Amino acid sequence: MTTQQWLAAFLIGGGLVAAGRPAAAELPGNPSRGQAFFASKQCGRCHKPRGQQALGPPLDELRRRQGVLELAGRLWNHAPAMLGVLEAEGIEWPEISTSEMGDLMAYLQADYLLDQPPDLFAGQVTLVKVGCLKCHRLRGEGGSAGIELTEYHGGYESPVVWAASIWNHSPRMAKQAVEMGILYPRFTGAEMANLYGYLRNVAEKPQ
Ligand code: HEC
Ligand code: HEC
C-alpha cells in the first residue's frame, strides 16, 4: 500500500474521527444556493450586513457555526415577529421547501456535527414545558387544534425536513396561539434537538 492509498483508506474508514481530529463539516445543503435564496425570500429586508439599519439582527450574526436543529429552534422562535411585520405590509409568508431549507441552513453555517446527540428524557420535558400539548396530542393525550404528533412519520425523516415543515406551519400555529390566548413556544440551546429526537423516537415505536 502506498502512503496515498493508506491515507484514502484511513479517511474513508473514519480513522480521522477516531484519531480525535475535527471531522469535516457536514452541511445540510449548498451555501451559495442558500445565499441566493436568502436574498429572494424577504430575509434580506430585515437582516443586512452589520452597520446598516434593519429590523432584525445583522446578517453577520445570523451566519455563525451552529447545529442544524439549534438553527431550527431559532427559526421557530422568530416566526411571530416576522409574521407581524409581513402581515402589516401585506406580504405573504415565504414557504420553504426541504431542499431550500437545506441550502439556507448551509448558508447560515449550520452543521449536523454541531448538534449534540439528543437527550430523549429532556426532549419529553421540553414537549410539556413549551406547551405543544396545549394544541397537539401525543398518544391521545393533549389538545385538538393540531395533529397527533406520533402520527407525523414523514415529518421526522431528517432535521431539515422537520425544520421546513414547522416553518411552513408556523404562521397558523402562531395565530392559533393568539386565538387561544396562550404563549407561543420558544426554544433555547439544545431544546429543539432533544424535542425532535424524542418525537422521532416515539413516532417510530407505536405502542
Ligand atoms: C420582518 C423582518 C424579518 C424578516 C423578513 C426576517 N427576519 Fe429573521 N429576525 C427578525 C427579527 C426581529 C429577529 C430577532 C427577534 C426574534 O428572534 O424574535 C430575527 C431573528 C432571526 C434569526 C435568529 C437569530 C439568532 O441568532 O437568534 C434567524 C436565524 C433569522 N431571523 C433568519 C431569517 C430568515 C432565514 C429569514 C427569511 C426567510 C428571515 N429571518 C426574515 C426579523 C425578520
Ligand atoms: C397554539 C396551538 C399550537 C401550539 C402551541 C403548537 N402547535 Fe403545532 N400546529 C397547530 C396547528 C393549528 C397546526 C396546523 C397548521 C397548518 O394547518 O398549517 C399545527 C401544525 C403542526 C405541525 C405540522 C403538522 C401538519 O399538519 O403537517 C407540526 C409538526 C407541529 N404543529 C408541531 C408542533 C410542536 C412540536 C409544537 C411545540 C413546540 C407545536 N406544534 C405547538 C397548533 C399548535
pLDDT tens-digit profile, the chain (207 residues):
444 454 444 444 444 444 444 566 899 999 999 999 999 988 998 999 999 999 999 999 999 999 999 999 999 998 888 898 899 999 999 999 999 999 999 999 999 999 999 999 999 999 999 999 999 999 999 999 999 999 998 899 999 999 999 999 999 999 999 999 999 999 999 999 999 999 999 998 755
Distance 152 CA to ligand 2 centre (A): 11
Is 20 part of any domain?
no
Whole-model pTM: value is 0.90
Residue 63 near ligand 1, beta carbon < 6 Å: no
Whose Cα sits closest to atom 37 in ligand 2? 132
DSSP code, position 196: H
pLDDT at residue 205, rounded to an integer:
75
The response to whether residue 173 sits with its C-beta less than 6 Å from ligand 1 reads no
Residue 79 located in a structural domain: yes
**C-beta of residue 73 within 8 angstroms of C-beta of residue 188:** yes
C-alpha to C-alpha distance for 50 and 30, rounded to whole angstroms: 24
The verdict on the CB of residue 94 being under 6 Å from ligand 1 is: yes
pLDDT of residue 22: 55
| Cα–Cα nearest to 152, from 89, 206, 97 | 206
pLDDT of residue 78: 86
Grid coordinates in use for 85?
A: 411585520
- pLDDT score of 14: 42
**Ligand 2 centre and the CA of 59: distance in Å?**
28
Determine, yes or no, domain membership for 63: yes
Q: What is the domain range of residue 118?
A: 28-204
Query: Quick check: is 102 in a domain?
Result: yes
Long-range contacts at 52-56 (CB < 8 A, ≥ 24 apart): 55/85, 56/81
- Is residue 76 situated within a structural domain? yes
Helical segments of the chain, H only: 3-12, 15-18, 31-40, 43-46, 59-62, 68-77, 79-88, 98-107, 120-130, 159-180, 191-204
Domain count, the chain: 1
